[in-house]
Structure 1
């Protein structure tokens, strides 16, 4: 069984780039356009990893991660934040919310895939 990764980003082109890279490496991908959409798509789904943008409408990435972690089923799901935000302050907030890694856009798909395989090993 392949591992399933939830990709959350309000930019459809960004979701496409991330999804293509992940699918090319054999992962199954669920896409969501913001935190609210992501929470509704999680419902009962087995997810091995979440890759989320930080700045999104309706519900930003950090709020989404905090909400997701409140659910016992997703408490231990690792999260990679994929964002244009490189500030230490934002990273700290992300880590406190439960993010395991921080990949700054623009990024190389290889760089993201390396972070993914490191976390999923």
Structure 2
């Protein structure tokens, strides 16, 4: 079964995302910030990362840049899931290695659609 690491400082968002992703057939792991997520990836690289941008300790963009430099870090699909909606921010995320971009709030249809666009369906 494929694994998705949900990285968000909001426990509520992680819980909602977990429910949606489990319904889509993913095993789900969680991290509350980028540093925790990077440590998790160094232990067991996930197939996909659902990533928030604004978090304490290490934000999503910094995590993404560091992930892509890790051994095997180019493999996971990374889908940003954030309130950041400015075109320059979206462009920066995609240029830094994100595969897709979801705006909060989100629902199961949006996640399923974006995961399909990223080749995860």
Deviations 1:14-59 (A, max 9, x none): 0000011101221101100000010111123131111100000100
- 2: CA distance between counterparts of 1:105 and 1:15? 12
Structure 1, unmatched stretches of 5+, are: none
Partner of residue 101, structure 2? 102
- 2: CA distance between counterparts of 1:27 and 1:76? 17
> Superposed, which structure 2 residues align to 1:71-86 within 5 Å?
71-86=70-85
Partner of residue 12, structure 2? 13
- 2: CA distance between counterparts of 1:25 and 1:101? 17
Partner of residue 61, structure 1? 60
Partner of residue 23, structure 1? 22
**TM-score, with length taken from structure 2:** 0.93
Partner of residue 52, structure 1? 51
Q: Write out the 4+ residue segments of structure 1 that deviate beyond 4 Å after TM superposition.
A: none
After superposition, the CA RMSD in angstroms is: 1.1
Structure 2, unmatched stretches of 5+, are: none
Residues 47 and 75, structure 2, Cα contact 8 Å, conserved in 1: no
Partner of residue 87, structure 1? 86
Deviations 1:49-86 (A, max 9, x none): 11100000100000000000001211131100000011
**TM-score, with length taken from structure 1:** 0.93
Range 69-78 or range 90-99, more displaced: 69-78
